[in-house]
Amino acid sequence: MKFHQCRDFLVAISASDLVRWSGEDDERCIGNPYLIAALNAIDISLDPKNLYFLYFDKISIGSGDVYWYESPGTPANIFAIDLYRGVYDQHDVIQFVIRAHRNAAVTKIALRSFIDVAEAQFCYEESNSSQRVEAILNFGAYPKKIEESGYFQKVQKVERC
């Protein structure tokens, strides 16, 4: 009997969980090491600290796009993060998806560790094929109107990680 390996992951957390603080100074943080490990497993070199500061320093409430990253060696390995800042969201909830065609088992272990240490665990899903992941990764669905704010959310494909 052959088992299907999980390759689609959806995680919803507080944006604060993208980083780990190394002191009381607001600038002394590092990217969450478990998220970095998951991204490294799918060959995406990205510091989650940059996403944290983008979310809190540059994105206004009621706006925010989906940022899409592909592995240079395996374009089917994808990390996409939805940085929309909800109008009424007091927890700074964001979601990201990972599609892991290579190293899915390693990605799963890293993401399970990530969600286990997250202070705000809103959602963790893993599946061989997820409709919710597919909905986020569907380029044809954008620009997508966010009803609460009227914002038209776009996909920002980041060419270089």
How far from the centroid of its chain's Cα atoms is residue 129's Cα? Answer: 17
pLDDT digits (tens, 9 = 90+) for 82-132: 999 999 999 999 999 999 998 999 999 999 999 999 999 999 999 988 899
DSSP 10: E
- Per-residue model confidence (pLDDT) at position 1: 47
Distance CA 61, CA 63 (A): 6
pLDDT digits (tens, 9 = 90+) for 8-31: 999 999 999 999 987 666 668 899
**Exposure of 1 in the CB half-sphere (CA atoms within 13 A):** 1
Distance CA 51, CA 16 (A): 10
- Per-residue model confidence (pLDDT) at position 25: 62
Distance CA 89, CA 14 (A): 10
The pTM score is 0.92
In degrees and rounded to multiples of 5, residue 43 shows phi and psi of 65, 40
- Per-residue model confidence (pLDDT) at position 142: 96
